[in-house]
C-alpha cells in the first residue's frame, strides 16, 4: 500500500479556498478508501499542539488519529534533517521530510510549493515531495 506523510499545515481545515479544500478532501478520501496509508509523526503532533486555533488543533488531531503508524524523532532523523538544512529547508520542515523518509513513506504531501521544489532538488531524497493534486494523480495512475 502507498504510504504518505502529510505536512500538518496541509491538514488545517480553514486555511485555503474551497477549490483547494476539495483537493484536500479527495486526498484524504484516498486514505479513507484504503488506497493510501496515512503516516503520523512526533513532529506533526508537536506542530499541531502549537496551533493557537482550537478548531485547527482538533482537526489536526482527528486526521492524525487515522494514521496506523507514528514515527518518532531519533538521532538518525535529526542527522538527516540537518542535511536538508543545507538545501534551504527550514528546521521543522527538514524534520518532517526526514521523518517521511524514516517511515519509508512513498510521498511527502505538502501545500508549500517552495518546500516541495527544494525537496525535489535533493538528489538522494528517499521520498517523493508532492502537492495534494500530484498525490491524487499519482495514485490514479
Task: Give the per-residue pLDDT at 8.
Answer: 59
Residue 17 above 70 pLDDT?
no
How sure is the predictor about 19, in pLDDT bands with cuts at 50, 70 and 90?
low
Cell of 80: 538527516
Residue extents of the structural domains in the chain: 2-140
Residue-level pLDDT at 49: 92
> What's the confidence (pLDDT) of residue 133?
81
- pLDDT of 12 higher than 70: no
Residue 92's pLDDT is what?
A: 94
> In this predicted structure, what is the pLDDT of residue 62?
86
What distances in angstroms separate CA 68 from CA 16, 27, 34, 46, 115, one per listed residue? 27, 17, 11, 18, 25
The answer to whether 139 touches 30, Cβ cutoff 8 Å, is: yes
Average pLDDT over residues 70-89: 97
CA distance 44 to 8: 6
Between CA 94 and CA 6 the distance in angstroms is 13
99-106 mean pLDDT: 96
The whole-model pTM stands at 0.87
Give me the DSSP letters along 32-84: HTTSEEEEEEHHHHHHHHT-S-HHHHHHHHHHHTT-SEEEPP-HHHHHHHHHH
pLDDT at 10 over 80: no
Grid cell of 43 as nine digits? 513532529
Under CATH, which architecture does the 2-140 domain have?
3-Layer(aba) Sandwich (3.40)
pLDDT tier, 113 (very low <50, low <70, confident <90, very high otherwise): confident
Lowest-confidence pick of 7-16, 51-60, 75-84, 107-116:
7-16
pLDDT > 90: percent of the chain: 49
Amino acid at each position: 500500500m502507498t504510504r504518505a506523510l502529510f505536512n500538518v499545515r496541509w491538514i488545517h481545515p480553514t486555511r485555503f479556498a474551497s477549490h483547494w479544500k476539495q483537493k484536500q478532501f479527495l486526498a484524504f478520501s484516498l486514505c479513507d478508501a484504503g488506497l493510501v496509508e496515512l503516516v503520523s509523526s512526533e513532529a506533526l503532533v508537536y506542530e499541531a499542539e502549537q496551533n493557537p486555533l482550537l478548531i485547527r488543533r482538533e482537526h489536526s488531531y482527528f486526521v492524525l488519529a487515522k494514521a496506523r503508524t507514528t514515527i518518532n524523532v531519533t538521532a538518525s532523523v535529526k542527522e538527516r534533517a540537518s542535511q536538508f538544512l543545507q538545501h534551504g529547508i527550514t528546521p521543522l520542515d527538514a524534520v518532517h521530510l526526514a521523518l517521511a523518509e524514516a517511515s519509508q513513506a512513498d510521498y511527502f504531501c505538502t501545500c508549500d510549493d517552495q518546500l516541495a521544489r527544494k525537496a525535489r532538488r535533493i538528489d538522494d531524497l528517499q521520498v517523493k515531495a508532492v502537492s495534494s493534486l500530484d498525490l491524487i494523480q499519482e495514485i490514479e495512475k
